[in-house]
Structure 1
Amino acid sequence: MGEKFHAFMFPWFAFGHMIPFLHLANKLAQNGHKVTFLLPKKAQKQLEHHNLFPDSIVFHTLTIPHVDGLPAGAETASDVPLSLEKFLTAAINLTRDQAEAAVRALRPDLIFFDFSHWVPEMAKEHGVKSVMYFVAGAVSMAHSLVPGGEFGVPPPGYPSSKVLFREQDAHALLSFSIYYESLYHRLTTGLMNCDFISLRTCKEVEGKFCDYIESQYQRKVLLTGPMHPEPDNSKTLEARWSHWLSRFEPGSVIYCALGSQISLEKDQFQELCLGMELTGLPFLVAVRPPKGAKTIQEALPEGFEERVKNRGVVWGEWVQQPLILAHPSIGCFVSHCGLGSMWEALVSDCQIVLLPYLSDQVLNTRLMSEELEVSVEVQREKTGWFSKESLSVAITSVMDKDSEVGNRVRRNHARIKEILVSPGLLIGYIDEFIETLQNLVNDPNLE
């Protein structure tokens, strides 16, 4: 192996970005490299337990300056609603002097970034290579971040006729449109000015989209592999859930989770609960309380708890998702198809039903359901809402042993899972990724 390098990491200050950056930092540290991780003060406590190599990964805290419009004490995206995110962006941009002072003092070889589009320019001034690390998947970048497309419409030469937005995705595009222009500008500027692009994916799942990005941006695209956390055999599922799940037949329980960002409208939350009830199957739903409700209990449909008390649980707090998916009783995973959950679904044995909310989740869903045919998407009305019937139909279509759709997605899923969990796949990607970085750092003529 070549010489060891020192990498800076400067992710967007949202946990859905900082945690994948830290997973990558752990892989670099495991291979003997040094990482300085830039983050806001408050986030350090919440991320420390993800740092598996505290001797090699040093947290370097930045002070988030005051910006008019940003609530006092807000430091990460989870502290502000989407409508105020532009103020957080402005505050993070004002940390440039602090980041530059750290680069000057510590002289890294590389700096990984995503939303802070000024990083490549700053890195060049100090002779540092910049790597744009995009954590949302190759499909999203290929569809929405290659110049030449329009909002919601892919650019020329886009390599799929299936992974596209449709009329019923207006709700997802609307939430994205609020800050699309500013985000598009920041990301494409970063992509055009960085030295290399890296993606948290593998060619077995998103190969043609990675090739398209490489050809359009004329930059080397380095793949880290899926980066789903490897099973931690030291951890066991909480007794509460292992006891409850063990009451049911193998492969019979539906598990539903929609990620940490999604708070449903109360009507849609109730529709979700009623759709689960309608399947007649046991279920565990782990979602945030809906908008306007402090607890899950107060928002449940009338009489629901009594009707499902022996077979259904709706839970409003965090659960150990990978361990739940690995439990033999779980047979179906209803997911929003965020990238982390997408990989967890693919390496599970569950049937997959998808209910996306944000624009990148919609594209991941089309990749899974239309291109790879490993899942079924819940049909929505033109308003973007789904009905309890459409949810129940989607779940039943994959859970019914005699269903043609169910058998097709099961076969395709089993084939892809076998590739993804094959010995050496993950480690092979990381080894090649690190070796490429070492060569780039050590050979100034390599571009």
Structure 2
Amino acid sequence: MASKFHALMYPWFATGHITPFMHLANKLGEKGHRVTFLLPKKALKQFEHLNLYPHHIVFRTVTVPHVDGLPLGVETSSEIPISSTNLLASAMDLTRSQVEDVVRALKPDVIFFDFAHWIPEVAREFGAKSVDYLLLCAAAVANLIVHAGGEFDVPPPGYPSSKVLLHKKDAYSMKPLANSTEDLDAFKERFIASFTKCDVIMIKACKEFEGKFCTYVESKMDKKILFTGPMLHHADATIPLEEEWSNWLSRFELGSVVFCAFGSETIMERDQFQELCLGMELTGLPFLVAVKPPRGTTTIQEALPEGFEERVKGRGVVWGGWVQQPLILSHPSVGCFVSHCGLGSMWESLVSDCQIVLVPQIAEQIINARLMSQELEVSVEVAREETGWFSKESLRDNIKSVMDRDSELGNRVRNNHTKWRKTLTSPGLVNGYVDDLIESLKDLIVHALDKP
């Protein structure tokens, strides 16, 4: 086989999935491998600027068919509530013939996917290998294995840590994922089918960070497991932070600003959104909140608590649009990151200098938060009621606990965070994982070609 291979990528139609696939594509493109990247037409403009190696990485678009129950024209998960995920997944399934046409014409060596559980069948038909890229930390994958066995509150023998486990009391975190038990079961079946049918499972995890969870997953899965490492994205240095935010943040003292962002898909209830705003106000610190308008509203302004804007004028901003999260986190005035702890945000928080406060929304984010707060002690997690809601006082107290320079807890998580940041950003770590990954993929392809 030639030293370079051709990879096809077909991620789930969500920002939090397309972005890390794009980071992987850039790592392969940097090494001279060809990548054909499939994504919906609407998403092309949003992501094409992330292509750092256009001579090696080519985008191709798919037409997303309409499915009853979805608004006309929907192509990505950011356009719908998370409970409609199964409908969009059904639309993705209807693109199978388009994907088959691409695979037939281009004959890739390997296909990376996640939600499209039928990709292994397509890959096998046309002589390619399939890799299920699980955009979960190793601890979350370990939890999937445990829950598949029916365990919840008591970890089975050999499970790495009882601190990082989803419990029955966390049932609220599953409610946003589906409209019914049947939808949730379908979601689980799709997930399980993806990693049982594929040739190789790939996990966005780092053994230095989650060693015992990686070992547990490898011991339980009956197939090859690859770990990508942190797969950190290095932004184009020529693209600065937008002037509006750079100027605003620069008005405040070093490390004094609290930045809050809950990702591209979290849509809060109006009352909980207001509790978030009031909690930020109660800290007395300057803050920037970037979240989507809450459910039932079209703008942030119409949902703000009464009198809020006047009270925080000059020190607090609540923004309903997209922001350059990594660049804001690296701004010297930002000292605390309040996050939902999605996987991408988890890694971005770890390589930042900010204190970390976590407000997870759904199941995998809870696992990420417990890994960060209880196992590694690099952050604090805001306490929640059984409904899954948090109070403004709880949010305030957690932020102040890590921002107070005399706080024992704040100093402990700061010191632990510094240790892990140095490990994760150490020279050669990311490239070492990429090199090992590429060699494993070459072996996978070569063995496929050797078979009669």
Do they fold alike, i.e. is TM over 0.5? yes
Call closer, same or farther: CA 1:122–1:417 in 2, change over 3 Å.
same
> For residue 138 of structure 2, what is the aligned residue in structure 1?
138
SS of match in other structure, 2:217: helix
Query: By how many angstroms is 1:231 displaced?
Result: 4.2
> For residue 393 of structure 2, what is the aligned residue in structure 1?
389
The aligned amino acid for 1:249 is E
Residues 315-354 of structure 1: matches in 2 within 5 Å? Answer: 315-354=319-358
Residues 255-404 of structure 1: matches in 2 within 5 Å? Answer: 255-404=259-408
2:226 maps to 1:244 = no
The aligned amino acid for 1:419 is T
Query: By how many angstroms is 1:254 displaced?
Result: 0.8
> For residue 215 of structure 1, what is the aligned residue in structure 2?
219
2:60 maps to 1:51 = no
SS of match in other structure, 1:331: strand
Query: By how many angstroms is 1:161 displaced?
Result: 0.5
Q: Aligned match of 2:191 in 187, 190, 203?
A: 187
> For residue 163 of structure 2, what is the aligned residue in structure 1?
162
Aligned mates of 1:410, 1:172 — CA distance in 2: 28
1:354-405, CA deviations, whole angstroms, 9 ceiling, x for partnerless residues? 0010111111000000011000001112221111110011011111111111
The aligned amino acid for 2:6 is H
> Structure 1: which 5+ runs fail to align?
none
> For residue 116 of structure 1, what is the aligned residue in structure 2?
116
Query: By how many angstroms is 1:433 displaced?
Result: 0.8
1:42-84, CA deviations, whole angstroms, 9 ceiling, x for partnerless residues? 2222221122222222222222234333332222222333343
Stretch of structure 1 that moved more, 378-387 or 54-63: 54-63
2:417 maps to 1:413 = yes
Query: By how many angstroms is 1:2 displaced?
Result: 6.4
Call closer, same or farther: CA 1:91–1:145 in 2, change over 3 Å.
farther
> For residue 175 of structure 2, what is the aligned residue in structure 1?
174
Taking structure 1 as the reference length, the TM-score comes to: 0.94
Aligned mates of 1:322, 1:148 — CA distance in 2: 35
The aligned amino acid for 1:372 is L
> For residue 61 of structure 2, what is the aligned residue in structure 1?
61
Query: By how many angstroms is 1:6 displaced?
Result: 0.6
Query: By how many angstroms is 1:409 displaced?
Result: 0.4
Equivalent residues of 2:200, 2:224 under 8 A apart: yes
Equivalent residues of 2:227, 2:437 under 8 A apart: yes
Equivalent residues of 2:83, 2:177 under 8 A apart: no
Query: By how many angstroms is 1:275 displaced?
Result: 0.8
Aligned mates of 1:146, 1:124 — CA distance in 2: 30
Query: By how many angstroms is 1:339 displaced?
Result: 0.6
Give aligned-pair identity as a percent: 61
1:9-54, CA deviations, whole angstroms, 9 ceiling, x for partnerless residues? 1111222212211111111111111111222222222221122222
Query: By how many angstroms is 1:436 displaced?
Result: 1.5
Stretch of structure 1 that moved more, 246-255 or 138-147: 138-147
Stretch of structure 1 that moved more, 301-310 or 387-396: 301-310
Call closer, same or farther: CA 1:92–1:274 in 2, change over 3 Å.
same
The aligned amino acid for 1:53 is Y
1:83-103, CA deviations, whole angstroms, 9 ceiling, x for partnerless residues? 433232222212222222222
Runs of 4+ residues over 6 Å off in structure 1: none
Equivalent residues of 2:86, 2:187 under 8 A apart: no
The aligned amino acid for 1:305 is E
The aligned amino acid for 2:302 is E
2:86 maps to 1:94 = no
Call closer, same or farther: CA 1:401–1:209 in 2, change over 3 Å.
same
Equivalent residues of 1:143, 1:155 under 8 A apart: no
Equivalent residues of 2:85, 2:177 under 8 A apart: no
The aligned amino acid for 1:161 is S
1:289-311, CA deviations, whole angstroms, 9 ceiling, x for partnerless residues? 22222222222212222222122
Call closer, same or farther: CA 1:435–1:441 in 2, change over 3 Å.
same
SS of match in other structure, 2:345: helix
The aligned amino acid for 1:30 is E
Aligned mates of 1:398, 1:102 — CA distance in 2: 51
Aligned mates of 1:153, 1:444 — CA distance in 2: 42
Call closer, same or farther: CA 1:390–1:122 in 2, change over 3 Å.
same
Equivalent residues of 1:263, 1:290 under 8 A apart: yes
Equivalent residues of 1:152, 1:173 under 8 A apart: no
Equivalent residues of 1:265, 1:291 under 8 A apart: yes
1:205-249, CA deviations, whole angstroms, 9 ceiling, x for partnerless residues? 222222222221122211112122124322222222222222222
Q: CA RMSD in A?
A: 2.1
The aligned amino acid for 2:129 is K
Query: By how many angstroms is 1:108 displaced?
Result: 1.0
The aligned amino acid for 1:169 is D
Aligned mates of 2:189, 2:336 — CA distance in 1: 39
